[in-house]
Structures are given as C-alpha cells and as structure tokens.
Amino acid sequence: MGKGIAKYLKYVFQCFIDIIYASDMLCTACDAELTEDKLICFKCEKSIMYCNEPMIIGTGRKKFICYSVTYYSNTIKNIVIKFKYRNEFRCGELLAKLMCDFLKKNNLEFDVITFVPSGKESYKKRGYNQCEYMANLLGDYFNKKVIDCITKTKETKIQKTLNTDKRWENLKNSFEIISNEHIKNKNVLLIDDVVTTGATVYYCAEKLLDNKANNVIILTAAKSKI
C-alpha cells in the first residue's frame, strides 16, 4: 500500500515537472513549440514592430523624452496581456530583454532604476507589479540599484476606458515620492509597460524631478494609440 502511494506521488510529481518544463519550450507569444532555447519563435520575433521615434511628453518647462522599444501590435499585445493578467513571467523576461537591448543599442546612461507603481487594488488582485518585475531584471542586467520610491496615493478609474483628456485628469495628483534618498542628484530610469497618452509616466517623472532627481529617462516596453 505504502509503495503504491509513493509510486503514485512520484508519477504526479513527474507530470508536474513535465508541464513546467514543457511551458519553457513554448513561444511566449503564440505558444508554438520552440526548437531552440529562446523565449519567442522566429515568426513572432519577425512580426515585432520596433519603435524608432521617442515621444515627447509634457509642455512648457517640463518635458520628458519617453522611449518605447516596440509598438503595441498583435504580437507584443499578446505578450503583455499574458504577462500582466495571466502570471506568465517568461513574457516579462522577454520584454525586459528587449528593453535591455534597446538601452545598450542607444547608449542610454542612468544611475538608478525605478518603476510606475500599481494601485493597491490592482496589486492585491494581481499579486505583483509587472513594471517592478521588469525593473528588477534590468537592475540585474546593468548592476544598477532598483528604487521603490513612487507610490500611488489614490485609486483611479481604468485608463483604457477614458479618452485623452480624461486620462490626464484621472491621474492628476495620484502619485507621491516615498523618499528621495536614492534619487537625489541621480539620473533615473523610469520603467512602464505600455505608454498611450503618457499621462502616467509624466506625473511620475514630474514627482521625481520635484524631489531632486537630476534627470528622468522614461522607457516603456511598448507604445500604443488611444
């Protein structure tokens, strides 16, 4: 009886391991089987639309350059959704790798990294902040300190349900700096997943500058249209 249970448990454990490792051999975008040790298949990789033009966000004296690695086309959209809403962290690894390659290619220099915070309800529901996850991977790549210094002080409406003007109004006065200890006089890399109007990253970058950051470089995995 005992041997039978042990054999069954061993079988269940092996099935579990097989499922885990099988998922590591699937394309993060389309779930096709991979023949190489990669995160994305050749077909999906070729379909990624890379973004060559930075976005200028803001008016007057406060303007920020927002770099995006890709456009929010079907392949990247699938990857972002799987990462953000289905806990598929290999998708986050791929996005971080694309961001890493972009930073290296464009010789963008920074001292520390921070990220757009989640609201309390979003974090509670998801269990993690996708921007923080990518920021930590970039911190490992570049051996830079990742600073959790921005907090969202109020719950807001979901941005995708709003037009451009409402998005900016929705997020106004929603962010604060916890401490400027590690950002004072530093060049800060601010990470977000997708930029649309730029309202989120603008208000975060504005707070960083107001709290003595020397400069803010904004980088997102993708750029979308409203």
- pLDDT > 70: what percent of the chain? 89
Q: 218 has which bridge partners?
A: 66, 190
Average pLDDT, the chain: 89
145-200 pLDDT tens trace: 999 999 999 888 778 778 888 999 988 999 999 999 999 999 999 999 999 999 99
**Contact 176/150 with Cβ under 8 angstroms?**
yes
- Residue 13 banded pLDDT, cuts 50, 70, 90: very low
Average pLDDT over residues 79-83: 97
The angle formed by the CA atoms of residues 135, 169 and 189, to the nearest 5 degrees, is 20
Q: Tokens representing 73?
A: 């086309």
Name the token pair of 114.
Answer: 């921070």
Q: Where in the chain is the domain with CATH 3.40.50.2020?
A: 48-223
Q: Could you give phi then psi for residue 113, rounded to 5 degrees?
A: -120, 140
CA pair distance 69, 54, nearest whole angstrom = 9
CATH number of this structure's domain 48-223: 3.40.50.2020
Check if the beta carbon of residue 90 is closer than 8 Å to that of residue 81. no
Mean pLDDT of 110-138: 95
| Pick from 15-24, 47-56, 71-80, 153-162: least confident | 15-24
Instruction: Give the pLDDT mean for 41-64.
Output: 92
Helix (H, G, I), strand (E, B) or coil at 129: coil
The tens digit of pLDDT for each residue in 54-64 reads 999 987 778 99
Task: Give the model's confidence band at 25: pLDDT under 50 very low, under 70 low, under 90 confident, else very high.
Answer: confident
* Residues with Cβ within 8 Å of residue 140, at least 6 apart in sequence: none
Please say whether the beta carbons of 83 and 222 come within 8 A: no
Exposure on the CB side of residue 201, measured as CA atoms within 13 A: 32
Tokens of 66: 């927002």
Rounded CA gap, 186 and 188, in Å?
Answer: 6
Looking at the DSSP bridge assignments, the partners of residue 68 are 220
